Amino acid sequence: MQAVSCARGNQNTLYQKSHVMGQKRSGMSKPEINKCLYPIFLSCIILGLFIFSFLSTAFSNQEGVTKQYKKAVQKMDRAGQVNAETQVPKNIVRVLDEDQGGHFFTEARKSEIKRFRCSSCHNDKMVSIQGAADLSHADIKVVHGGKEKPLSCNTCHSTEDRDFLTTGKDTRIDPDHVYQMCGQCHFRQKKDWIGGAHGKRIIFWSGERVVMNCTSCHNPHSPRFAERWPKTYSVPLK
């Protein structure tokens, strides 16, 4: 009971106070109202500035490389990128697969094989010299396929048509399109090669895409890069 009366008393006092304040406000003159509104105006302006700065940073160009390149989705004309000094290298073939931007090219390899055409020796006539393979192909060491499943010549080279390679499904493959051969086992590398994460382009980053073929870098008979001395050295920093 006491508590209730107490609360009532408080209410009364509050009512009285507000009543008094209301009286005071109604008695105010105009310049006094302006004085009261100044801080409100100021805070409004500051808030506006804050919002403006937020928006300007959100929509400005200075937003990091990642966002910048993710926004760039418009396809570019590959051939149109070529300026006066970029010319498509010669001796290339069009790759039978397509990459993210359509067709692309790779180095032709047949002209690089020292004793091509193979059929000039491997023809209908029987080779009657003993140990002919050791005599004519002694430089070739096959270190490919590991110890469990070492490859032999005929794993890749066709026995019927000596100028071609042959897949596991007996499909003939031109040595210029050797990536089809390698891609049978090394399909991950082939996927990366088509996209551009494996291998490299030739001379130009712009213009028509021309990449190196598998056998431009890897020796197909022993594809692992050899251990060797570095070309140069760095001087110590400290």
Partner 1 sequence: MDSKKKNTISRRAFLTGAVSAAVTGGALVTTGCKGKNLLESSEAFALEFQEYFKKHYRLMNEMEREKTVSRLERLSKQKQGITVDIDTTGPLENVLYGYAFNVTRCEGYMECVAACVRENNLDRRSNMQYIRIFEMEHGQMSPDQGDGKYFHMVPREGHFYMGVQCFHCDNPPCVKACPTKATWREPDGIVVVDYDWCIGCRYCMAACPYYGRRFNWNQPEIPKEEITKKQHYLGNRKRVRGMMEKCTFCIQRSRKGKLTACVEACPTGARVFGNLLDPDSEIRFVLENKKVYRLKEDLGTDPKFWYFID
| Smallest distance from partner 1 to CB 157, Å | 26
Nearer to partner 1, 38 or 233 (CB): 233
Q: Which is nearer to partner 1, 115 or 238 (CB)?
A: 238
CA–CA distance, 146 with 224 (Å, rounded to integer): 11
Closest-CA residue to 219 (of 89, 112, 91, 104): 112
Q: What's phi and psi for 135, nearest 5 deg?
A: -70, -45
Min. distance of Cβ 74 from partner 1 in angstroms? 7
Q: State the minimum distance, in angstroms, from the CB of residue 186 to partner 1.
A: 12
The residue to which tokens 């506006």 are assigned: 48
Residue 93 CA to chain centroid, in angstroms?
A: 23
* Closest distance to partner 1 from the beta carbon of 224 (Å): 10
CA–CA distance, 115 with 134 (Å, rounded to integer): 15
- Closest to partner 1 by CB, 23 or 62: 62
Residue 4's DSSP bridge partners are: none
Whose Cβ is closer to partner 1: residue 4's or residue 72's? 72
CA distance 133 to 150: 18
Nearer to partner 1, 5 or 234 (CB): 234
What are the contacts of 221-224 at 24+ separation with CB within 8 A?
A: 221/140, 221/141, 221/142, 221/143, 221/144, 222/141, 222/142, 222/143, 222/144, 223/144, 224/143
**Nearest-approach distance from CB 103 to partner 1, in angstroms:** 11
- Please tell me the distance from the alpha carbon of residue 100 to that of residue 71, in angstroms, as a whole number: 17
Shortest spacing between CB 237 and partner 1, in angstroms: 7
Is the Cβ of residue 3 or residue 76 nearer to partner 1 in the bound state? 76
Whose Cβ is closer to partner 1: residue 59's or residue 69's? 69
Interface residues with partner 1 (CB under 8 A) are 62, 64-65, 68-69, 72-76, 78, 81-83, 85-86, 99-102, 188, 192, 195-201, 203-207, 212, 217, 225, 227-237
DSSP letter for each residue of 132-183: HHHHHSTT-----STTTS---HHHHB-SSSTTSEE-TT--EE-GGGHHHHHT
Q: Hunting for tokens 């006066």 — which residue is that?
A: 84
Q: Smallest distance, Å, CB 147 to partner 1?
A: 18
